[in-house]
Amino acid sequence: MTKALDVARDLLRCPSVTPADAGALGVLEKLLKNAGFETHRLTFTEPGADDTDNLYARIGTGTPHITFAGHTDVVPPGDNAAWSHDAFAGDVDGGVLYGRGAVDMKGAIACSVAAVLDYLQANGGKPKGSISFLITGDEEGPAVNGTVKLLDWAAKRGEKFDHCVLGEPSNVNALGDCIKVGRRGSLSGTLIVEGKQGHAAYPDRAHNPLPDIAALVSALNADPLDQGTDHFPPSNLEFLSIDTGNPAWNVIPAQARARFNIRHNDYRTQDSLRALIEGRVEKLSGNHTTARVEWEPSNADAFLTQPGPFTDLVVAAIEEVTRRRPKLDTGGGTSDARFITHYCPVLEFGLVGQTMHQIDERTPVADIEALTKIYRGVLDRYFK
pLDDT (tens digit per residue) in 250-270:
999 999 999 999 999 999 899
139 is catalytic: yes
In degrees and rounded to multiples of 5, residue 8 shows phi and psi of: -60, -45
Three-state SS for 233? coil
Q: What is the pLDDT of residue 8?
A: 98
Question: What angle in degrees, to the nearest 10, is found between the helix axes of 365-382 and 4-12?
Answer: 120
Active-site option among 73, 118, 138, 336: 73
| Segment holding 115, helix H or strand E | helix 106-122
d(CA 275, CA 370): 47
Does 73 qualify as catalytic in the annotation? yes
> Side by side, which strands form the sheet with 130-136?
38-46, 49-59, 130-136, 65-71, 163-166, 346-348, 178-180, 327-329
Per-residue pLDDT reduced to its tens digit, 292-335: 999 999 988 999 999 999 999 999 999 999 999 999 999 888 89
Angle (CA) 361-363-367 rounded to 5° is 160
Task: Return d(Cα 350, Cα 348) in angstroms, integer.
Answer: 7
**Which residues make beta-bridge pairs with 192?**
257, 292
What phi, psi does 98 have (nearest 5°)?
Answer: -105, 145
pLDDT band at 286 (very low <50, low <70, confident <90, very high): confident
Tens-digit pLDDT profile for residues 54-103: 999 999 999 999 999 999 999 999 999 999 999 999 999 999 999 999 99
Report the distance separating Cα 89 and Cα 229, nearest Å.
Answer: 44
- DSSP code at position 297: P
Nearest to 248 by CA among 198, 192, 190: 198
* Residues 135 and 29 sit within 8 Å (Cβ to Cβ): no
3 state SS of 92: strand
**Residues 307/217, Cβ–Cβ less than 8 Å:** no
pTM of the model: 0.90
Q: Pick the catalytic residue from 29, 139, 336, 367.
A: 139
**DSSP assignment letter at 234:** P
Q: Which domains does the chain have, with CATH numbers?
A: 4-183+302-382 (3.40.630.10), 186-295 (3.30.70.360)
At residue 182, the pLDDT reads 96
Query: What is the identity of the amino acid at 8?
Result: A
